[in-house]
Amino acid sequence: MADETSDGVELVGVQVNEDTCIGAGQCEMLEEDTFYVDDDTVIAGVIGTGMLPRDRAQKVVDTCPSRAITIVEPAAEEEQ
């Protein structure tokens, strides 16, 4: 699986827990190519490849006020 960019930065997946998301959109503010808050449900979803460099993914995780975002570790993804 391509979990690195061409210059060797480690990429990880991100996911949103729809039950705890409060639609504050802090994720969309930081990474608008990866998160999108739906107009009707006001819940964030992952768009595009859903992959981010680990440091940026961690920053979104830390910023989300309801701890609704988690990093999907590449290994865990393969097991599914």
Residue ranges binding other proteins (CB under 8 A): 22-26, 28-29, 32, 37, 39-40, 42, 58-59, 62-67
Q: Which does 15 bind (CB under 5 to 8 A by kind): ligand SF4, other proteins, none?
A: none
How far is 25 from 10, CA to CA, in rounded Å?
25
Q: Which does 39 bind (CB under 5 to 8 A by kind): ligand SF4, other proteins, none?
A: other proteins
Binding of ligand SF4 by 70 (CB under 6 A): no
Maximum alpha-carbon separation in the chain? 38
How far is 31 from 38, CA to CA, in rounded Å?
15
Give me the amino acid identity at 60.
Answer: V
